[in-house]
Amino acid sequence: MDSALAPLVVARSTRPGSPDHGQQHWKAVAWAGLGLARQVDGCDAELVLLFALLHDTQRFNESRDPEHGLRAALFAQELRAEGVLALDDERLDVLADACTRHDQGFVSDDPTTGACWDADRLNLWRVGITPEARLLSTPPARQRELIADARSFHGLAYTWDDLFDGFAQLAP
């Protein structure tokens, strides 16, 4: 998997330029996820990156869109069927489930799902919401310093090349 995946996904996303839910947000989620994947034992870093890239790609609006996670999961399944994503059934299921339920207020004991949801929630600052430790799944995400640092994440400049490189270095 390399960063060529990003433009392909962007081209097939509904609102990539959205300030709150578009590409800048996906990159900031990848950045947060990269930090967590380094610290969470048993976390599948590649799935965290894929979650960041895909989870908000199929939004129809900027407010209430309760099925956007499900549509992102279907998109992930489509990409696997097309041979774009090389994931076995088990990993695809983890990714699809993390996408489907990401906005439903759950926490997870699964290190990968937990890191995905935490990476998204640490970025709630961008919409004026302070991330709450009780809604974060992984111990590193619940650290007060990280929650505070995450306030800056949405405003940082990222390239997909750098983010993919960061994850590649973590991959087993």
Residues that bind Fe ion (CB under 5 A): 56, 103, 120
From the CB of residue 164, how many other CB atoms can be counted at a distance below 10 Å? 21
Q: What is the DSSP annotation of 88-153?
A: -HHHHHHHHHHHHTTTTT---SSHHHHHHHHHHHGGGGGGT-PPPGGG--STGGG-HHHHHHGGGG
| 130 versus 169: smaller Cβ distance to Fe ion | 130
Shortest Cβ distance from residue 88 to Fe ion (Å)? Answer: 25
| 152 versus 169: smaller Cβ distance to Fe ion | 152
Longest dimension (CA), the chain: 42
Shortest Cβ distance from residue 124 to Fe ion (Å)? Answer: 9
Shortest Cβ distance from residue 123 to Fe ion (Å)? Answer: 7
Q: Please say whether the dihedral angle defined by the alpha carbons of residues 29, 148, 45 and 43, taken in this order, is positive or negative.
A: negative
Comparing C-alpha atoms, which of 29, 8, 26 is closest to residue 75?
8
| 61 versus 159: smaller Cβ distance to Fe ion | 61
| 67 versus 110: smaller Cβ distance to Fe ion | 67
CB within 8 A of 26, min separation 6: which ones? Answer: 52, 53, 54, 55, 56, 57
| 61 versus 169: smaller Cβ distance to Fe ion | 61
Shortest Cβ distance from residue 164 to Fe ion (Å)? Answer: 19
Shortest Cβ distance from residue 103 to Fe ion (Å)? Answer: 5
